[in-house]
Amino acid sequence: METFGLNDAHNFPLEVSTPLGQGRVNQLGGVFINGRPLPNHIRHKIVEMAHHGIRPCVISRQLRVSHGCVSKILCRYQETGSIRPGAIGGSKPKQGASPDVERRIEEYKRETPGMFSWEIRDKLLKDGICDRNTVPSVSSISRIMRSKFGGKGEEEEDEDEMEKKEQDENERRTKHSIEGILGDRSSHSDDGSEVESEPDLPLKRKQRRSRTTFTAEQLEELER
């Protein structure tokens, strides 16, 4: 039963009672519970809709899930291939690359110099070089390319910033926090969710324009 007063008509979120405990209503009309991850069947639906080309803002309105939550789930799925919520407390272990995989990454980059890290990751999966459990993360591929070829492009800077934010967020949350305790409980309850398998659906990614580079001779001509 909702607890709604006259003075609260324009104050979101409202408090509601749910089978899982005291919840709140967001500005889209969806119910959420603080400290509990989104149910797996909704995560699965978000990825499925994105696979069919539906924009995150439309997904947000139709499923009544905040735009930030939709974007975070899609970013995590593109990075890890999983819809499962991340572990709360501590940094997640990074998936490195074996020497054979590193050599294959170098080959891809030499064949197509303008190839992005996420494109290399997708190609490793498509060519059967790695599976979902062994493929290196996008940030790991970026580090390999920087160590082999040097320099840092615009896309790699965005990836580093995203990775740093995620690590900072994980370090702030500990197992002794309310979110950590609820996260542990929800992780056990999610094991019995009606959606056990991962979507395994490719998502269309927003293409970034490659940064234009010029040689010294070209720069001299442009400055004339």
The CA distances from residue 194 to 42, 78, 107, 114, 189, in Å, are 11, 22, 41, 41, 11
How large a percentage of the chain has pLDDT more than 90?
0
Q: Which CATH number fits domain 99-161: 1.10.10.10, 3.40.50.150, 3.30.43.10, 3.40.1010.10?
A: 1.10.10.10
Q: Where are the domains positioned within the chain?
A: 35-89+173-190, 99-161
pLDDT value at 75 more than 80:
yes
Asked if pLDDT for residue 22 goes beyond 60, the answer is: no
Residue 191: is its pLDDT beyond 50? no
DSSP 189-218: HHTT-S--S--------PPPPPPP---HHH
Return the SS3 of 22: strand
**Banded pLDDT at 219 (limits 50, 70, 90):** confident
More confident site: 155 or 200? 200
Q: Which amino acid is at 131?
A: D
What CATH fold (topology level) applies to the domain 35-89+173-190? Arc Repressor Mutant, subunit A (1.10.10)
User: Matching CATH topology for 35-89+173-190 and 99-161?
Assistant: yes
28 in helix, strand or coil?
A: coil
